[in-house]
Amino acid sequence: MPYRSIVVLTGAGISAESGIQTFRTADGLWENHRIEEVATPEGFAANPVLVHQFYNQRRQQLLSPDIRPNAAHQALARLEHALSLIEGSEFLLVTQNVDNLHERSGSRQLVHMHGELLKMRCMETNLCFDIRHDLGLDDCCRCCRQPGNLRPHIVWFGEMPLDMFRIEKALARCDLFVSIGTSGNVYPAAGFYQLASNAGARTVELNLDETGSSFDEHRYGPASQLVPAFVSELLT
Ligand code: BJW
């Protein structure tokens, strides 16, 4: 293994072959909604019922038996496990995805920088709770016992992504940075490869299509094929 410290960033493309739709489609809509309606604090304040409905639907989709991790998620868990057996090596998987397919594959050194669909958060106390059912305006929070204080644990536009300190520390130390299935449209994640490169890391992009970003190496194709092949190369 030529690398001692690896950071992997994943985006919607890694879960596409598991049946979860990516974000940026040709019509600019997410599941028929404008971004401002469903992915900003202002959208939630204007129409919380609509926003709850949007995330309730996506949560139920994620919980359906049809949605399962694919070979790309599994390969990353394999990589983490292999590295854990090498003394002194470090691994961090940063996902922009709000699904749970990485943890279902066995990934543990994992940061959900844009939140998690299967969590809700109290806006009063910032405490998070697991959730598998639908969330509504009348639901009472377990900590403050008030209705209307709960929101999806999702990072919307204009909000600070989660665990940035841990991510930036890992980026500053890594010698390999791999970006998988992300369009590179959303910051700060879109700038991670430059931070890693500035720290001296080799940067590799695995994506279905060109994104226009300048990594040291680009490989194009479906994640379910590219990622297992890339991980096998690293481990031999
Ligand atoms: C395949 C494949 C297959 C398909 N195999 N590949 C102006 C300039 C710069 C920045 C800003 C600006 N104005 C505002 C900002 C900041 C803003 C931002 O970036 N806006 C841009 C739109 C310009 N960012 C923020 O507000 C963030 N917060 C922030 O910046 O805080 C301040 C800060 C300061 C200092 C330090 C740190 C922070 C918050 C961003 C929150 C994003 N949240 C969302 C919504 C989550 C809720 C939900 O899920 O509903 O997260 S947006 C959405 O985009 C979601 C995703 O995680 C994120 C990234 O999308 P992703 O994963 O790249 O998906 P797609 O669909 O775009 O791409 C899929 C890719 O897969 C494509 O490339 C395909 O080719 C590929 N693919 N099938 C391999 N089978």
Q: What is the pLDDT of residues 209-219, one digit of tens each?
A: 999 999 999 99
pLDDT for residue 101 is more than 70: yes
Structure confidence at residue 30 (pLDDT)? 67
Instruction: Band the pLDDT of 146: cuts 50, 70, 90.
Output: confident
Kindly give the distance from the C-alpha atom of residue 86 to the centroid of ligand 1, in angstroms, as a whole number: 33
Where in the sequence numbering do the catalytic residues fall? 114
Structure confidence at residue 26 (pLDDT)? 58
Residue nearest to atom 63 of ligand 1 (CA): 182
Q: How far is CA 229 from CA 11, 12, 31, 58, 85, in A?
A: 18, 19, 32, 30, 20
Q: Between the CA atoms of 84, 4, 2 and 162, what dihedral angle is there, to the nearest 10 degrees? A: 90
Instruction: Band the pLDDT of 36: cuts 50, 70, 90.
Output: confident
pTM reported for the whole predicted model? 0.97
Kindly give the distance from the C-alpha atom of residue 25 to the centroid of ligand 1, in angstroms, as a whole number: 13
Tokens (6 digits) for 187? 């910051």
Average pLDDT of the segment spanning 97-110: 98
pLDDT for residue 34 is more than 90: no
Structure confidence at residue 71 (pLDDT)? 98
Q: Is 208 in the pocket of ligand 1 (CB under 6 A)?
A: yes
Q: Is 211 in the pocket of ligand 1 (CB under 6 A)?
A: yes
Rounded-to-integer distance, Cα 93 and Cα 115, Å: 14
**Backbone phi, psi, residue 214, to 5°:** -100, 80
Structure confidence at residue 59 (pLDDT)? 97
Average pLDDT of the segment spanning 77-89: 97
Q: Is 26 in the pocket of ligand 1 (CB under 6 A)?
A: no
DSSP H or E stretch at residue 92: strand 90-95
Average pLDDT of the segment spanning 125-153: 93
Instruction: Band the pLDDT of 153: cuts 50, 70, 90.
Output: very high
Kindly give the distance from the C-alpha atom of residue 2 to the centroid of ligand 1, in angstroms, as a whole number: 30
Q: Is 192 in the pocket of ligand 1 (CB under 6 A)?
A: no
Q: Is 182 in the pocket of ligand 1 (CB under 6 A)?
A: yes
Mean residue pLDDT across the chain: 95
Peptide bond before residue 161 is cis, with ω within 30 degrees of 0: no
Average pLDDT of the segment spanning 100-121: 98
Structure confidence at residue 23 (pLDDT)? 84
Structure confidence at residue 27 (pLDDT)? 60
pLDDT for residue 78 is more than 70: yes
Which among 8, 112, 157 is the best mutation to test ligand 1's pocket, defined by most ligand atoms within 8 Å of the CB?
157
